[in-house]
Amino acid sequence: MNESNRHDIVIIGAGPAALTAAIYTTREDIDTLLFEKGVVGGLAAVTDVIDNYPGFSSGVAGLELADSLRKQAERFGAVIELGEVTGLNDEGDYKRLETTVGDIYARAVLIATGCDYNRTGIPGEDKFYARGVHFCATCDGAFYRDKRLVVIGGGNSAIQETIFLTRYASHIDILVRSKIKASNVLVKDLQPFIDQGKVSIHLGITPKEIIGNDNGVNKVIGTDKEGNSREFMTDGVFVFIGLKPNSDFLKNSSVKLDERGFVLTDSNLETSIQGVFAAGDIRSGATMQIASASGEGATAALKIRKYLEGRLHHDRLETRQFEVIS
């Protein structure tokens, strides 16, 4: 361990919770490094429009919000590095993070890795990934101008992303395993597109296979409640069936997870390892909202500052005791 790979705090992730925490810690002159394996801003960055983030009466583009948070954190001195954390080890005063660029040490760690998209697991999903099967409408929707699409899912994200995809697609079939679970506001926003015949909702359909060829996807096969086979011709498939925690790197650590893989914390947002905290969508019990993730990031930063102050006081006491003994 040397000065170049040792930090007061390492934040794993660079989404809203992580960036908000970094704004708070760096303003206190706490040496802060953020480590991100994907997109700075997390899933918020690839959300078309965020309508429920406080302070934006007309909504705000996800990429715009993410970029503003990044610039604010960097203005106070936060450093963002791209790479992946593969392990976390408790070594007392310092925590050792195994990463793709070597080991990094931190007095305190904030886990803010968020979530990723769930997959259906049906045949064809992996085969045609990025060649007709997608999980981000704002990333890939423009490729399907005047094309037919299938959206799998019936929650908030599925309906919200379908509304975005109507900008490009000629027609969208929404396949819902049971019933629409999206908020009434989103369902109301979708209704005009249903009335126009641009969107069709198919309830009780379970997708079974995605079919295609060398040119990409051409249909989705599903079954209805009676077990009858149904075919939906399409040029592309967008899957929106919920989120899974990005916690695989913690499987061999001492950080306790719940049954779904989310990080367990106490009322101080501290995990089962002293000095390791968690905030945002990765935390068990999180509301999966950008505003609350940002709020948890701020709370975690304040708790981490208090923890670091306690460690510094402890270190000074030990130094004085050593001097008296000697």
pLDDT tens figures, 225-245: 999 999 999 999 999 998 899
Residue 325 has pLDDT above 50, yes or no: no
At 150-188, the pLDDT tens digits run 999 999 999 999 999 999 999 999 999 999 999 999 999
Q: How far is Cα 289 from Cα 156, in angstroms, rounded to an integer?
A: 12
Share of the chain above pLDDT 90, in %: 83
> How do residues 189-201 score in pLDDT, each as one tens digit?
999 999 999 999 9
> Quick one: residue 246, left, alpha or beta (phi over 0 = left, psi -120 to 50 = alpha)?
beta
The answer to pTM > 0.95 is: no
- Number of residues that this document lists for the chain: 326
Nearest to 22 by CA among 289, 310, 304, 250: 304
Q: How high is the pLDDT of residue 139?
A: 82
Domains of the chain, start order: 3-117+243-325 (3.50.50.60), 133-239 (3.50.50.60)
CA distance 314 to 275: 14
